């Protein structure tokens, strides 16, 4: 039985009834890892697993947000409800540009079934990708069946965030010739679909063939070869085709044994990370409250001990206290 405190329970009930305000507050609790946030996540977990999560990344200014807005509109017309998460890992506070996007997008659709939110939870213990996953699960649980995650860049952070998605899309455009040199193998490998946006620009055809070569060079997708979709997000051109490719990828993932196995491994890795995080937290608390590492160090210096033995002794003290705590709890 999962126990959620009465205030969070009220928020959960309201969010499940469709209150965007309650959902917003729940997201803040989860994003800031406020007291009780894990109970919320445990509670909603059985309600998740229905949404399709689409990740979109690429260099700044290639037209990601314009594309996201068009995709959201099309999905909306097809009677889906859409959650959009704009993640800005490089900004300690909500990234200005993403926030701007959010306001711009909100004007784009007065439709009720689109929820837009910026995330910038850098420094959370579980990492930005775990935080994104947690928030995506909240959206999934309250009934958003299409979740689009937009993040800016092509670095390690983005690779991790985009890995949360069921389908990862890398957006590029021919005006960004230099960025292509900087594209890391990581982002090439993680991409399920490439979008070359701003196809109205003259250099597009040449650019597409360059990307095709890079896909063959970098992609290690054994069975799924990432397609390239040309779009003009400004005028909605190519967006329906992109949705078709996303659907093809979803179908492929459902049928492909290797990918099912990959997903299983991802889930196991998440559990391992959660365990590591919990242990780290407990250790920090232990040495903060009971045995300051500094004292241990000073004592060891006097006794001329090596750091390996100090660490062993410190860890033994930690395990001993865990054991005592468990024995006390069992009584
Ligand atoms: N010519 C042309 N311009 C486009 C197209 N799509 C978007 N743009 C323009 O490109 C600029 C950047 O678009 P955004 O959608 O904000 O790009 P973004 O990738 O989300 O940018 P960041 O979030 O800042 O990284 C805007 O001025 C858009 O109007 C397109 O297909 N063709
Ligand atoms: Mg954007």
| Averaged pLDDT in 10-residue chunks for the chain of 331 residues | 81 93 93 89 95 93 92 92 85 49 58 81 69 94 96 80 90 73 71 94 89 77 85 96 97 86 88 89 84 78 85 90 88 80
DSSP type of residue 14 = H
Asked if residues 40 and 26 have their Cβ atoms less than 8 Å apart, the reply is yes
**Residues facing 148 on adjacent strands:** 54, 84
Atom of ligand 1 nearest to the CA of 59: 25
Could you tell me the CATH number of the domain that includes residue 174?
Answer: 3.40.50.300
* Residue minimizing CA distance to atom 29 of ligand 1: 234
Report yes or no on 128 lying in a domain: yes
Residue at which a domain ends, from 254, 274, 308: 254
- Say if residue 124 is in the same domain as residue 239: yes
pLDDT score at 100: 55
- Say if residue 210 is in the same domain as residue 311: no
Residue at which a domain ends, from 27, 47, 67: 47
Report yes or no on 302 lying in a domain: yes
Report yes or no on 259 lying in a domain: no
pLDDT score at 197: 96
Atom of ligand 1 nearest to the CA of 60: 25
Residue at which a domain ends, from 254, 279, 309: 254
Asked if residues 230 and 196 have their Cβ atoms less than 8 Å apart, the reply is yes
**213 CA from centroid of ligand 1 (Å):** 25
- Say if residue 77 is in the same domain as residue 149: yes
Tell me how many domains the chain contains.
Answer: 3
pLDDT score at 96: 44
- Say if residue 24 is in the same domain as residue 57: no
* Residue minimizing CA distance to atom 25 of ligand 1: 60
- Say if residue 249 is in the same domain as residue 173: yes
- Say if residue 54 is in the same domain as residue 43: no
**216 CA from centroid of ligand 2 (Å):** 28
Rg for the chain, CA atoms, rounded: 23
Report yes or no on 67 lying in a domain: yes
* Residue minimizing CA distance to atom 3 of ligand 1: 198
- Say if residue 234 is in the same domain as residue 283: no
pLDDT score at 190: 84
Asked if residues 51 and 144 have their Cβ atoms less than 8 Å apart, the reply is yes
Asked if residues 246 and 193 have their Cβ atoms less than 8 Å apart, the reply is yes
The binding-site residues of ligand 1, defined as CB within 6 angstroms of any ligand atom, are 60-66, 97, 152, 197-198, 200, 232-234
- Say if residue 60 is in the same domain as residue 189: yes
- Say if residue 76 is in the same domain as residue 210: yes
Structural domain harbouring 283: 265-330
Report yes or no on 260 lying in a domain: no
Query: What residues have CB less than 8 Å from 158, skipping those under 6 apart?
Result: 57, 89, 151, 152, 187
**155 CA from centroid of ligand 1 (Å):** 20
Report yes or no on 115 lying in a domain: yes
Report yes or no on 269 lying in a domain: yes
- b/e per residue, 47-82, with b = 16+ CB within 10 A? eeeebbbbbbbbbeebbbbbbbbbbbbbbbeeebbb
- Say if residue 4 is in the same domain as residue 24: yes
Probe residue for ligand 1, chosen from 58, 64, 66 as the CB with the greatest number of ligand atoms within 8 Å: 66
- Say if residue 99 is in the same domain as residue 11: no
Three-state DSSP class for residue 253: helix
Return the ligand number nearest the Cα of 62: 1
Cα–Cα dist 111/315, whole Å: 55
């Amino acid at each position: 039985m999962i126990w959620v405190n009465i205030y969070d329970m009220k928020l959960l009930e309201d969010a499940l009834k469709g209150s965007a305000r309650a959902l917003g507050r729940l997201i803040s609790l989860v994003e800031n890892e406020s007291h009780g946030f894990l109970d919320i996540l445990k509670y909603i977990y059985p309600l998740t697993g229905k949404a399709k999560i689409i990740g979109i990344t690429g260099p700044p200014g290639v037209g990601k947000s314009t594309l996201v807005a068009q995709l959201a509109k099309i999905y909306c017309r097809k009677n889906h409800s859409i959650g959009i998460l704009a993640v800005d890992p490089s900004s300690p506070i909500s990234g200005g540009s993403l926030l701007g996007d959010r306001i711009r997008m909100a004007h784009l659709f007065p439709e009720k079934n689109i929820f837009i939110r910026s995330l910038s939870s850098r420094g959370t213990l579980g990492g930005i990708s775990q935080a994104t996953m947690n928030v995506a699960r909240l959206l999934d649980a309250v009934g958003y069946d299409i979740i689009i995650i937009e993040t800016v860049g092509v670095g390690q952070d983005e690779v991790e965030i985009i890995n949360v998605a069921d389908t990862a899309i890398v957006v590029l455009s021919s005006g960004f010739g230099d960025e292509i040199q900087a594209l890391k193998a990581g982002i090439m490998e993680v991409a399920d679909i490439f979008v070359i946006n701003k196809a109205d620009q003259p250099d597009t055809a040449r650019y597409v063939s360059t990307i095709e070569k890079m896909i063959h060079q970098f992609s290690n997708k054994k069975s799924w070869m990432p397609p390239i979709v040309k779009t003009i997000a400004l005028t909605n051109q190519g967006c329906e085709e992109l949705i078709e490719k996303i659907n093809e990828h979803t179908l492929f993932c459902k049928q492909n044994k290797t990918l099912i196995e990959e997903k299983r491994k991802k889930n196991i890795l998440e559990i391992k990370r959660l365990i590591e995080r919990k242990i780290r937290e407990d250790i920090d608390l232990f040495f903060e409250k009971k045995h300051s590492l500094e004292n241990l160090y000073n004592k060891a210096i006097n006794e001329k001990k090596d750091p390996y033995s100090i660490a062993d002794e410190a860890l033994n003290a930690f395990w001993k206290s865990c054991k005592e705590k468990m024995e006390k709890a069992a009584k």
